[in-house]
Structure 1
Amino acid sequence: MHAQALQLLRFICSEIAKLDGKRVRDLIGSPLEAAATMGNVEVVEEILLSFPNALSLVNENKHGVFQIAIANRRVDVFNLIYQITTPHHLLLAQRDASYNTALHLVARLVGGTTDQASLHLRSCAPGAALQMQRELQWFKVVEKLSRPQDQEQRNIFGKTPAMIFTESHENLAKEGEQWMKDRAHSGIIIATLIATIVFTSAITVPGGTNSENGKPIFSERTGFVAFAVADALALLMSASSMLMFLGILTARYAVQDFLSSLPKRLIIALITLFLSIIFMMMAFTSVLYLVFGEEKTWVLGLVSSLANIPVLVFAVLQFKPIFDISYSTYGPAIFGKRGDRIIV
């Protein structure tokens, strides 16, 4: 069905191409604008391949196809710019009725909760902090493709792109700050509890100490070495997690921090917290082995199996947030050439 729709589109374009120039512009203008607004990259690509001059078409707001894609955050449509040999800054230099460049458009946060572009942004980047990160990624890539002087260009209201970005993203930045701090508050409490538990376990070693030399009674057993290593690692990981969460709570929360600094801290904090839980459970299992040994293996096996439950619960609850943040920060860039066909 999809292939048939594309064939029909190509046939329609070939028929329209037989008409005179004015008639062609009238027929393809609205479909091109609608496709760019909705993010239908295949329709936009076919129209541009059939009618290269469509790049110069603008709507009533004097927005070209890439300005429309930027305003509606349609990354697939915007990536078509990499399949065009025309210098990119020329495609983004078009000014609209308010004298806005592409940088001004990308600096403006998309509409409210009922706006389709806003809903698209929220679905692509769950969480206010990740939405802020995605907005910064958009701004950076358009800034890179635009002319250097466009960064200081003012629109009809006398505002530069940086001024518009700061003003329009003020509330989102506050939401992102609260989003990060809520997770940091919860995480630092858990990390502190784990650090307290494992530190206490290190002082009051299982089995007690020898009254004559002060050495732990179980020090010669293999299980005690496993306990000591796991307990030390749990303490180190929980302390590291505490420091990273503290770094999030005391951050300055400048707009640029949402691009990489804050997400990196949160990733490290969550991973080290997860590792501290794993090592804490390993230390707990080692203590059980020292106490029961081979005498009551069923007790050791049962409790050791149940000790995996906290690890699994944390993994299930936190896997998606960690994956989303890691993918958004370190994953493949969403911008770049996606097709081999040269449009013009």
Structure 2
Amino acid sequence: MHLQAIQLVKSLCEKIRSSNDSKVYELIFKDVILIATRYGIHEVVEEVVESFPQAVWSVDKDDVNIFGLAVIYRCENVFNLIYQISGHKQAMMFMEDKNRNNMLHLAGRLAPFDKLNLVPGAALQMQRELQWFKEVEKFVTPRYKQLRNNKNEFPSMVFTKEHKKLVEEGEKWMKDTANSCTIAAALIATIAFAAVITVPGGTNGTNGVPVFSKANAFIVFIISDAISLFTSTVSLLMFLSILTSRYAEGDFLYVLPKRLIIGLVTLFMSITTMILAFSSTLYLVFGNNKEWTLIPVAALACLPVTSFVFLQFPLLVDLISSTYGHGIFGKKSDRLFY
């Protein structure tokens, strides 16, 4: 159905363009391109702009052009068309509506509820909002940051006012996540430290050397336990730094997500190596006499790691993608308009 609608728009554009009747464009496609922009239907916007280049200057009743609407409604597919415009790019971004809001004022508004919910978690939602503001900021001159609207507000003031509640929700989300993970990291660090002191099999009463010191499984135990201790300590420090952060707006862009990524990755490593240390201990104790016990133990040892992957891996992927990924902005096609 979507493809059929696009094909219909394309056919209409071709017929009207061949008729050379500019009034038909004003009657039909001016509203079409504005509606398509609001709903993020970039294919329709592309077809109309390609057929009628002047369509990029279309504005709504508040004098907001298509790129301003794309910013308000967070339609990145439409906004990215700015990269495919060869000329007048700066002029299109230097707009002001009837209330003297420039493009940065519009970017400072809170995204529509349905667009916010596309991103999981208040902290990542705040990060996405900051990414929008920073992206629009690239296209305007520094002077635009100091322009006031009819309410005597700078763009930064609009952003702070509109996102005050989201910052509070993001702080709560971050602290709740960090609190839960801090407990897990502290427990693993405690277990790993205790395991080093009480090595499996005990020590030789004469020289204090561990009984299994020459066994390969013992080497695996020592290395994995040491890694578990170090990574759980790093994880604990990362989560503590999240809990004690000042939670400024800008921290949600890179600082807090980066700390959470490091914390989750090191926590996963500490859990994995702790299970490996536990498994190697069981092998040292039972490996020679009760080999049949190793298979069910190995299977059960995979459960904590698997559970962590299923529960936290989607969040970790979202964090890495939104922080270090290609992003939602940029030139998506070599097709040029206007």
Write the distance in 2 (CA, Å) between the matches of 1:317 and 1:295.
37
Instruction: Note if contact 1:73-1:121 (Cα within 8 Å) is conserved in structure 2.
Output: no
- 1:125-159 alpha-carbon deviations (Å, 9 max, x no partner): 11100010001110001000112211111101111
Counterpart residue identity of residue 237, structure 2 = L
Write the distance in 1 (CA, Å) between the matches of 2:204 and 2:2.
77
TM-align CA RMSD = 1.2
Query: Which of 137, 141, 148 is matched with 1:154 structurally?
Result: 148
- 1:11-43 alpha-carbon deviations (Å, 9 max, x no partner): 211233325434421211211111000000000
Write the distance in 2 (CA, Å) between the matches of 1:166 and 1:154.
14
Partner residue in 1 for 2:308: 314
| 1:97 is the counterpart of 2:89 | no
TM-score by length of 2: 0.97
Structure 1 segments, 4+ long, off by >6 Å, are none
Counterpart residue identity of residue 325, structure 2 = G
| 1:122 is the counterpart of 2:110 | no
Write the distance in 1 (CA, Å) between the matches of 2:142 and 2:129.
20
Partner residue in 1 for 2:9: 9
- Structure 2 unaligned regions, length at least 5: none
Matches for 1:51-200 after TM superposition, within 5 Å: 51-110=52-111, 117-123=112-118, 125-200=119-194
Instruction: Note if contact 1:136-1:256 (Cα within 8 Å) is conserved in structure 2.
Output: yes
**Aligned-partner SS, 2:97:** coil
Instruction: Note if contact 2:76-2:328 (Cα within 8 Å) is conserved in structure 1.
Output: yes
**Aligned-partner SS, 2:117:** helix
Instruction: Note if contact 1:25-1:54 (Cα within 8 Å) is conserved in structure 2.
Output: no
Partner residue in 1 for 2:28: 27
Write the distance in 1 (CA, Å) between the matches of 2:328 and 2:188.
38
Provide the aligned length of Structure 1 versus Structure 2. Answer: 337
Give 1:270 shift. Answer: 0.3
Instruction: Note if contact 2:321-2:327 (Cα within 8 Å) is conserved in structure 1.
Output: no
Write the distance in 2 (CA, Å) between the matches of 1:263 and 1:4.
41
Write the distance in 1 (CA, Å) between the matches of 2:332 and 2:29.
24
Instruction: Note if contact 2:242-2:259 (Cα within 8 Å) is conserved in structure 1.
Output: yes
Give 1:4 shift. Answer: 4.4
Give 1:294 shift. Answer: 2.1
Instruction: Note if contact 1:238-1:272 (Cα within 8 Å) is conserved in structure 2.
Output: yes
Counterpart residue identity of residue 252, structure 1 = R
Write the distance in 1 (CA, Å) between the matches of 2:154 and 2:64.
18
**Aligned-partner SS, 1:206:** coil
Using the aligned pairs only, state the percent identity.
49
Write the distance in 2 (CA, Å) between the matches of 1:87 and 1:208.
77
Write the distance in 1 (CA, Å) between the matches of 2:135 and 2:101.
17
TM-score by length of 1: 0.95
